[in-house]
Structure 1
């Protein structure tokens, strides 16, 4: 183990479940994730048979685990370790399921998300349980066949990778700043504080906002609708407005501080950045920002809950877009900083995933 054993949840407080074949569950934990420690592993070992609990320390581990998952035909798999862990699992799974892959023709398992990451955007989306008890209960309910419902989610395709969200501009800058904070400030007694929400707040306060108070946030940008189909401007009610934008036509020309897209509503910490994402199957929500830092800060609570629709935010439904900035902008993919880019193509992937949802109602 990479961590020393800690106090675990009393297994007598968790119901014992013998999963039937149709409810067989695999649990994949990323041991590099901040919240995946010996206590979590030991707690889950009380409700998940040893052969169904997998620990991944590397990409090679992940590849081997997914081979085992597909060989054993698990109908459900939980990922534990945050949005990045989910993203890595899904990309490797579809690589192995593709026509030339070893498991071509097999059906992808349904995927559950344990709330064990830093931001947990996906965990918020599927109403995953919080804390040790919530995590255990989600797994127990899945093994007992008591998942309230399932949610089909499309994925973005970016540089050959599948992800729930990606963006150029301010959001990428924040993630790059967060990495700087973790690398330079998350040491010693500050390590735990600066590796979670405190790290994000510190990045905003000491890096991102000061930068944009003294530097221009707006950069010339051209966005063109791809050839996959028509795009639509979206109103504050989430409904298309105006004439459709034909394939190959410009969606936007002008200055922006952000161009981002998603197939689910949340960034980390319950930030509902894309309130209309997931409402139209086969389409992403594209969000364009023309806002100043003081305005964002003044309206942050409404923006955070997806209830702020100023003129400086423009929303679209699209299947494929080409984004070109006049200079390289901070780039993020699935919540991970990905350097700087001046051009990127975003499209909706052919494959979608079916997520376990613990609230109930499903698309």
Structure 2
């Protein structure tokens, strides 16, 4: 009888969620513009609505939470850790093979660092890059079609366009780009989504760091040695594209009724964007050859925008590393998370794979609509009924300038170093780091732990509205609200205006800083029940 009731409740929840899908799809606001200035050297071509040129200045560190979600579920009760730290100049004196030594002070480590503002000395590495621009075109990106390839090749030349489908091909492209040391490209243009941009940057930095003939030994120097990165967003979410100004102006309702005309217009916009990026690259080379400073033309003509990235590394609580881990740097990204968001991402990937296999609504389910369907059909039932997104988090910070955003007082920012929480030095092989104590700022069960230097998570979702409050810090969010409460408030969450003002619950906690450290433990329903029971007894 109990099982029958449980099945009925489950069916009712599924039906209810499916009925409100229309509300969800019609309520999500669309982003048509964004901040015109960020902090990782993105250069926006003038009059372009679909392209951005960028150059990475420095690095951030953090382990990729989404990619480790299933592994954490399989290794229940095993504590994993992450730490988020800024790239200060004095921290980059370590060799890249000892990059993990910087994390020995963490319980288990994930690092996030933010770059400093764009300055003149970041340009001297660019003087050596005078070769023609090259393109890395990811055929897996949602909006990349076979018709696009010859268009791009006709603009940049066949030899300067790398068409990639697999990770191996992308790595080979990065190696080929830097093979000719006498003629390094002035600009590298990834065409794809946020994942394409991040993976290309990872492969390029890896090639600079680990090439047998390179003399670069730090991640900071590798980022400085990168050519300018021209970005044409053609993925599903395109969160980074929104931040640096790569937004496509909405078409009129009459033109949107013609799907063939819409595709033709999109190809035409991409063609124009590619042409402008090529001309920008040529102009930059000309300026250098004429010994003119590029900074004089940065803002007006090239629209350089700076934006920090995140480097994610990971090791277990005993701080042991495999040989493979010791030789690799962390993963560079713009946002990462564990819990609800990683679960929804996995569900979206499974729905997208199913749609491609069956041919059912392939284009629609590969877009933002696919995220909505995954949320309603798969993620919410799993989280509401089974609580699969729940994790236990101990969050600390060593950043003495870290801030807490108090929603109850109109988003007043308060320092978290003023005696909040307790201090813990933690294990460390670095004497200087041992002297720095960590302040515990949160401990408990939550549904999402995410950090980002980009306000947009993708598809217009402004999950990190405080990511641009300062130039070199990230926004870390601890989301503890019930999934159904979040579902009802999706429009506010999407536009970044949702605030939790409850005095006791603390459903949404927002922090701004450059050094966070977290120990994450996965838990099942039974553990959560025990946890809540013990909490009630203590009260």
> How many angstroms does 1:328 deviate by?
5.4
The answer on whether the counterparts of 1:229 and 1:319 sit within 8 Å (CA) in structure 2 is no
| Normalised TM-score (structure 1) | 0.76
SS of the equivalent of 1:173 reads helix
> How many angstroms does 1:239 deviate by?
6.5
Distance 1:279 1:178, change over 3 A: same
Structure 2 residues without counterparts, runs of 5 or longer: 1-128, 217-221, 249-265, 281-300, 315-329, 424-436, 502-506, 525-539
SS of the equivalent of 1:213 reads helix
> How many angstroms does 1:24 deviate by?
3.9
Distance 1:326 1:51, change over 3 A: closer
The answer on whether the counterparts of 1:78 and 1:111 sit within 8 Å (CA) in structure 2 is yes
Match of 2:512 in 1: 317
Distance 1:305 1:24, change over 3 A: farther
Offset from partner CA, 1:310-350 (integer Å, 9 cap, x none): 14211112323332334259xxxxxxxxxxxxxxxxxxxxx
Select between 274-283 and 35-44 the one with higher mean Cα deviation: 274-283
2:366 to 178, 195, 198: 195
Greater helix content: 2
Match of 1:75 in 2: 186
Superposed, 1:346-361 pairs within 5 Å as: none
Superposed, 1:38-117 pairs within 5 Å as: 38-70=146-178, 71=180, 72-98=183-209, 102-105=213-216, 107-117=225-235
Does residue 327 (structure 1) correspond to residue 497 (structure 2)? The answer is: no
Structure 1 residues without counterparts, runs of 5 or longer: 1-20, 330-363
1:178 to 340, 348, 353: 348
Select between 160-169 and 228-237 the one with higher mean Cα deviation: 228-237
The answer on whether the counterparts of 2:399 and 2:516 sit within 8 Å (CA) in structure 1 is no
- In 1, the alpha carbon distance for the partners of 2:311 and 2:508 equals 21
Match of 1:359 in 2: none
Offset from partner CA, 1:83-140 (integer Å, 9 cap, x none): 1111211111111222765444471112122121111111212222543233233222
- In 2, the alpha carbon distance for the partners of 1:115 and 1:306 equals 22
The answer on whether the counterparts of 1:232 and 1:318 sit within 8 Å (CA) in structure 2 is yes
- In 2, the alpha carbon distance for the partners of 1:264 and 1:101 equals 34
> How many angstroms does 1:229 deviate by?
5.7
Distance 1:313 1:82, change over 3 A: same
Give the aligned CA root-mean-square deviation in angstroms. Answer: 2.7
| Normalised TM-score (structure 2) | 0.53
Match of 1:220 in 2: 392
2:333 to 163, 175, 178: 163
- In 1, the alpha carbon distance for the partners of 2:135 and 2:145 equals 14
- In 2, the alpha carbon distance for the partners of 1:235 and 1:251 equals 13
Which of structures 1 and 2 has the bigger CA Rg?
Answer: 2
Match of 1:206 in 2: 377
Offset from partner CA, 1:149-204 (integer Å, 9 cap, x none): 32232323233211111111110111111122123344223322222223212101
Greater strand content: 1
Structure 1 outlier segments of 4+, above 6 Å: none
- In 2, the alpha carbon distance for the partners of 1:112 and 1:32 equals 19
Does residue 293 (structure 1) correspond to residue 465 (structure 2)? The answer is: no
For CA contacts below 8 A with separation 6 or more, give which structure has more relative contact order.
2
- In 2, the alpha carbon distance for the partners of 1:112 and 1:103 equals 24
Select between 276-285 and 202-211 the one with higher mean Cα deviation: 276-285
